Structure formats: C-alpha cells, structure tokens
Amino acid sequence: MNNENKQYEIGYTQGTYDLFHIGHLNLLENAKKKCKYLIVGVNSDELVLMYKNKKVNITDVDRARIVGALKVVDEVHIVNTLDKNLMYSKFKFDAIFIGDDWKGNERWKNTEKQLGKYGVKVEYLPHTDGISTTILSKKISKNKREDER
C-alpha cells in the first residue's frame, strides 16, 4: 500500500479478533489506509475473560499470528489491558482506530479526552454490519446441532 499522503505516521488499534472474519479485515485495511505504520494490540485470553466474561475460541498466540501475517499490519502485540493511556506511553501513536459501533460509548469518550491531551486522534471507522465473532459462534453451534440431527 502506498504510504504517500497518509494522514498519520503511527496508528494503533486493539481488539480480540477471535474467529477472524471480514469485519476484522475491513477494519484493519481501513486503518492502514490512514497511517504509514499500523500497530495492532490483540487482547489476551485472560483480558477477554475478564472484560467480556467470554472464553475465546482461538488462543491469543494464534490470534496474534494470524493478525500479524496480514500485509496491512506492521507490528502486533498481545495486550493485557484496555487502558489506552498505557498503550500510548508504550507505542506513542498519532491516532487510534476503532469500529464506529463504539462511538458514544463512555469508555471511548474518556479515551478521546485523555488522548486528546497528547494530540492523539480517535478515529471511528465503518463497522461491517451483519458479522461478528458472536454471530459466527452462534452459526457454528447451530450448524453443529443440525448436523447431529
């Protein structure tokens, strides 16, 4: 991807990326269109269990390998926190990307305020409707039940 005329030098985005799907790919591709260097934080298994109260299907090590293998991803880290201030102190990004399904969420409004102090922009990118890890998990369970009949 041509890095000329990109809005940001370093971009950061963070997610779980369990059962990697087209919504994830769209988000990461759109993020890379806006920055020269894209760093992705992959939520650790323990973090997902803590904040979503969910067990992942694919381990963090494997999720990070899959995300890291994409040509739009420059660097990947397994992360243990949702604290974007902490992530900023580590990676010093110019913008942070998230799907626009999170727009208006209290935690993200806070992130906008906190990171705004350092001139970091929160960019909400178009969410891909009709697909999610939750939808896929349900489909897989439904198909399994139907197969067993």
Interface residue list for ligand CTP (CB under 6 A): 15-17, 23-24, 27, 98-99, 101-102, 127-128, 131-134
Handedness of CA 54, 46, 63, 1 (dihedral sign): positive
| Closest residue by beta carbon to ligand CTP | 99
Query: Whole-number minimum distance, CB 138 to ligand CTP, in Å?
Result: 10
Token pair for 34? 């806006």
Catalytic residues: 52, 54
Which residues have CB under 8 Å from 76's CB, separation 6+?
A: 39, 40, 41, 42, 64, 67, 68
Query: Whole-number minimum distance, CB 128 to ligand CTP, in Å?
Result: 4
Query: Whole-number minimum distance, CB 66 to ligand CTP, in Å?
Result: 12
Q: Taking the mean position of all CA atoms in its chain, how far away is CA 117?
A: 22
- CB closer to ligand CTP out of 11 and 15: 15
